[in-house]
């Protein structure tokens, strides 16, 4: 079961027990931007639902600045501190609790940088980008090793420099 709390407008905390793991997710949403941080801690199986205490700032604003989550398991209580996009195990009953994963993603209204393209394979088709090589069945297009080679301008078939016509389509080749 997922437990959700709204810390402030657009700032939500979600906590879930997945076996022995406690997964904490922070979501921040504002105009044109969305951020999410996820951490997973080895706390053990929960005995009771998690408890959350909201931490407030000082001064006249007294706005929420974070939260402390109390996770109770058969080994005792664990405290998880949430501040902004940071999620940390503050203390635990047993010293063996630790963070297993941590990811942070940010989405903005504009375009995001793309990750380099990984090699692809679909059925008998393969594609690599560095160097660019495409294979399908017994056909192959290799863009990275073309220096010095000539190809027919009509159909792309490799040709020898002495050829006057393309062996693939019969197109007259320029010398």
Please indicate whether residue 38 or residue 127 has the higher confidence score (pLDDT): 38
- Compute the C-alpha angle 120/123/128, nearest 5°: 20
Does residue 106 have a pLDDT over 80? no
Same domain as 61, residue 137: no
Q: Answer yes or no: are the C-beta atoms of 3 and 67 closer than 8 Å.
A: no
Over residues 80-97, mean pLDDT: 71
H or E stretch at 23: strand 21-30
Residue 153: what pLDDT? 84
Total number of domains in the chain? 2
For CA atoms 159, 164, 165, 171, the dihedral sign is positive
173 within domain boundaries: no
95 and 138 inside one domain: no
| N-to-C CA span, the chain | 73
User: Of the given ranges (25-29, 75-79, 131-135), which has the lowest mean pLDDT?
Assistant: 131-135
49 and 14 within one domain: yes
Residue 49 lies in a domain: yes
Rg of the chain on CA atoms, in Å? 29
- Establish if 126 belongs to a structural domain: yes
pTM metric for this prediction: 0.51
- Does residue 169 form part of some domain? no
Are residues 72 and 45 part of one domain?
A: yes
What domain range is 8 assigned to? 2-108
User: What's the average model confidence in pLDDT over 100-129?
Assistant: 64
115 falls within a domain: no
Tell me: do 103 and 139 sit in the same domain.
no
Residue bearing the bigger pLDDT, 14 or 100 = 14
For residue 17, name the pLDDT band (cuts at 50, 70, 90): very high
Does 72 fall in a domain? yes
170 falls within a domain: no
129 in the same domain as 91: no
- The CA angle 115-120-122, to the nearest 5 degrees, is 145
Q: pLDDT tens across 46-55, in order?
A: 999 999 888 8
Same domain, 8 and 31: yes
């Amino acid at each position: 079961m997922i437990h959700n709390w709204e810390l402030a407008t657009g700032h939500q905390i979600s906590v879930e027990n997945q076996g022995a793991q406690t997964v904490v997710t922070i979501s921040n949403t504002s105009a044109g931007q969305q951020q999410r941080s996820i951490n997973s801690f080895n706390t053990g199986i929960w005995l009771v639902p998690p408890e959350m205490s909201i931490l407030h700032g000082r001064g006249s604003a007294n706005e929420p600045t974070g939260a402390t989550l109390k996770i109770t398991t058969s080994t005792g209580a664990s405290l998880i501190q949430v501040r902004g996009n940071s999620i940390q195990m503050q203390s635990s009953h047993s010293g063996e609790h630790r963070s297993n994963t941590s990811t942070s993603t940010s989405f903005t209204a504009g375009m995001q940088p793309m990750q380099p393209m990984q090699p692809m394979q679909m059925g008998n088709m393969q594609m690599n980008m560095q160097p660019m090589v495409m294979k399908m069945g017994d056909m192959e297009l290799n863009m990275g090793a073309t220096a010095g080679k000539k190809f027919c301008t009509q159909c792309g078939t490799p040709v020898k420099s002495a050829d006057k016509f393309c062996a693939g389509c019969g197109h007259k080749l320029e010398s």
